[in-house]
Amino acid sequence: MVSAGIDIGSRSIECVLIENGLIKAARKTDTGYDPMSQAKKLIADLSFDSILATGYGRNLFELEYDSKTVTEIKAHAKGARFSFPEALTILDIGGQDSKVIRLDITGKVVRFEMNDRCAAGTGKFLEIMAQALGFSMDTFGTAAKNAQKSLGISSMCTVFAESEVTSLLARGENPEEIAKGLHQSVVKRAAAMLNRVSPEGPVVFTGGVAKNTCIVKFLEQTIHREVWVPESPEMNGAIGAALIAGEN
Amino acid sequence: MKAQLFKKLQQITEQNLMDIESHKQNGNHAIGFYCLYAPTELATAADAIPLPLCGTRQDPIEAAEEALPRNLCPLIKSSYGFAASDTCPFFRFSDMIVADTTCDGKKKMFELMNRITPVHVLQLPQQQNTDLFLDPWKAEISLLKQKVENLTGKQITDQDISNAIQLLNREREALKRLMDVTRAIPSPLTGMELIEILFKTGFFADKHKGIAIMDEIADACETMVQNGESPFKKTTPRILMTGVPVGLGSDKVIRIIEESGANVVAFENCSGYKKTFQVDETKDPLTALAETYLSIPCSVMSPNPGRFDLLEEMITGFSVDGVVDLTWQACHTYNIEAYGVQEFVADRFALPYLHIETDYSQSDTEQLRVRIEAFLEMI
Ligand code: SF4
Ligand code: SF4
């Protein structure tokens, strides 16, 4: 039995195939302007016995493929447990949203909170800031890690933060220190959400932003808790969806 | 049966504008109210029609934002916008507007509304039923009585008030009976249907018509329950909504919950179950009004223990599977109280809880859908 999970997010689409509890394939593409045709292309050459969709595009997918759907919340809970069976807290920071989920010991969701109304504190925020500072996404985290001190950025709003960055640069401030300040502002926001929703124990950190090792390091330093990052953190939702597809 | 009654409800609603007009042509008055705290009995006692004016629609908000900040509760903006753009027939019918000093946003908005039309503002205390607050509140209510007398030219006797209390107690009894039909599992009414009935009957010029149609619908629902008829299954998740008031136009959260396969069976808010109190008919009528109205458990009171008593009773009585707590954007009192409500629901009942902060626009529908579906997955 091969089960597939597809996570159709606002910025990227991931697909995972699972057979006998092992990941057989994992791939991803940009959402672009036409999520459905992108999703179709992504799975065109795959064969599976069942498929389940999650993410913002799940309902469109359901219409075309007659597949079942679950919310990102449930999919992430399942995916995190696959990588870390003892997981009780999940932080997911994706391209355009962030969320914290708390599980009970059986893996059931007991509480969650989402920020999906603005780009503040998400991957998009970091991308725009990297651009404003002239870094590529690959060098941005390293630059922040290297900085001696951190320049506080007071605006969380992407638009305001961008103009704050521009005026700091104009004042001749060090870009690495600004980068550090920006990373820390994302971490602060995540830490506040974690403290509200699930204030204790190790945190499973998923989503594209979890690949930024600087964010991971700052997060650990800020919340004084262990942070566990799965091998492919951006695949977590799709893994969860594939697992749930396999159950049905 | 139910469908026919909804048709009838619609007919009375359409007829109602003419009812109000002819009532006014006969030399009677209409008085607009903005909050549950103001006793509408005083209008009824002077043969004036009490009209609920709280704005529940998005349309007038743009007009309101010419004067009011964007970052303000949509209920306040909608209420003001209807007045400023003169697009609410009930506002136009109102010969007098009665408001209360409830939350900061509302009371400052009334200062601006007063420029459009005179607004009589009751100074509402923020604590309940200690003499320190009850006495001035009683004085406010006597003053309102005088104002209504001046407007209508009618002396309001104690007997008039007692009669009004009896009539409105009867109306509240009908409201309660109607809202109680959803205690049945599965419930015969959808939350959207319930909101429609509550909203429409609120404007009826003739209270007896409202009472009659509510009784008829309740009868029909009770028969449905006996025959095992329902739009839902026994396993349909039963949701209690708490928090800010909702009405037609500000019903998107209820709609999404029910589209996602659940049933909103109970409304712990001032457009729902908070309206079902009874005023003591044996006491001096003004004292009875003051006491009962001041004890309404809205988040503008500090502290507000009554809300938790009501929640406790309703969560159990309506066999609820989850609680959705709705806050209009920039409503600080409900937003802050949500912290305690979430704790209460978790500690006391271990039920799933979802806090939603939103406005009247449709812009976040899909985001809300994710939250609501994830919440229902928790049940
Ligand atoms: S929410 Fe409170 S202040 Fe607002 S109308 Fe209802 S009772 Fe009045
Ligand atoms: S919902 Fe809150 S902010 Fe809006 S009018 Fe009522 S109490 Fe005031």
pLDDT of residue A96: 85
H helical segments located in B53-190:
61-64, 74-85, 89-93, 104-116, 131-152, 158-180
Are residue A224 and residue A248 in the same domain, yes or no?
A: no
In sequence order, which residues have a C-beta less than 8 Å from that of residue A167 and are 6 or more positions away?
none
Are residue A216 and residue A201 in the same domain, yes or no?
A: yes
* Neighbour-count burial of B62, counting CB atoms closer than 10 A to its CB (0-12 exposed, 13-18 middle, 19+ buried): exposed
pLDDT band at A157 (very low <50, low <70, confident <90, very high): confident
Distance CA B208, CA B205 (A): 9
Quickly list DSSP for B110-127.
HHHHHHHS-EEEE---SS
Distance CA A43, CA B304 (A): 55
Ligand showing the shortest atom-to-Cα distance for residue B268: 1
pLDDT band at A150 (very low <50, low <70, confident <90, very high): confident
CATH number reported for the structural domain that contains residue A213 in this entry: 3.30.420.40
CA B50 to ligand 1 centroid distance, Å: 16
Are residue A165 and residue A204 in the same domain, yes or no?
A: yes
pLDDT, mean of residues B48-58: 96
User: Model pTM?
Assistant: 0.92
Per-residue pLDDT reduced to its tens digit, A158-210:
888 888 888 899 888 999 999 999 999 999 999 999 999 999 999 999 999 99
Judge contact between B164 and B44, C-beta under 8 A.
yes
Distance CA A14, CA A168 (A): 37
The residue among A26, A10, A57 whose CA lies nearest residue A235 is A26
Q: Extract the tokens encoding B337.
A: 């109280």
Q: Which atom of ligand 2 is nearest to the CA of B79?
A: 5
In the stretch 119-178 of chain B, residues with CB closer than 8 A to chain A read none
pLDDT, mean of residues A207-229: 96
Are residue A96 and residue A201 in the same domain, yes or no?
A: yes
Mutation for B interface: A112, A113, A157, most B CBs within 10 A: A112
Are residue A96 and residue A203 in the same domain, yes or no?
A: yes
Are residue A114 and residue A216 in the same domain, yes or no?
A: yes
Residue A154: Cβ within 10 Å count: 9
Q: Are strands A12-19 and A22-30 parallel, antiparallel or unpaired?
A: antiparallel
Q: How far is A146 from chain B (nearest CA, A)?
A: 37
Domain housing A29: 1-84+234-248
- Average pLDDT of chain A is 93
In sequence order, which residues have a C-beta less than 8 Å from that of residue B5 and are 6 or more positions away?
B213, B216, B217, B220
Q: Extract the tokens encoding B355.
A: 């806090």
Pocket lining for ligand 2, CB < 6 angstroms: B 73, 75-76, 102-103, 105-106, 244, 300, 328, 331, 333-334
User: In total, how many domains does chain A have?
Assistant: 2
Per-residue pLDDT reduced to its tens digit, B190-239:
999 999 999 999 999 999 999 999 999 999 999 999 999 999 999 999 99
Which candidate from B353, B367, B377 shows the least CB-CB separation from A74? B377
Are residue A90 and residue A33 in the same domain, yes or no?
A: no
The residue among A49, A50, A74, A52 whose CA lies nearest residue A61 is A52
Give the residue with greater pLDDT, B344 vs A165.
B344
Are residue A71 and residue A118 in the same domain, yes or no?
A: no
pLDDT, mean of residues A4-19: 95
Whether chain B has a CB inside 8 Å of the CB on A114: the answer is yes
Are residue A147 and residue A204 in the same domain, yes or no?
A: yes
CATH architecture of B26-155: 3-Layer(aba) Sandwich (3.40)
pLDDT, mean of residues B156-176: 98
Give the residue with greater pLDDT, A10 vs B255.
B255
Are residue A102 and residue A79 in the same domain, yes or no?
A: no
Are residue A103 and residue A222 in the same domain, yes or no?
A: yes
Chain B residue with minimum CA distance to A69: B373
Are residue A212 and residue A118 in the same domain, yes or no?
A: yes
Which segments within chain B are labelled E, that is strand?
Answer: 30-33, 49-52, 96-100, 119-122, 238-243, 263-268, 322-328, 353-358
* Neighbour-count burial of A100, counting CB atoms closer than 10 A to its CB (0-12 exposed, 13-18 middle, 19+ buried): buried
Is residue A118's pLDDT more than 80?
Answer: no
B36 lines ligand 1 (CB under 6 A): yes
Instruction: Count CA atoms closer than 13 A to A93's CA, side-chain side.
Output: 28
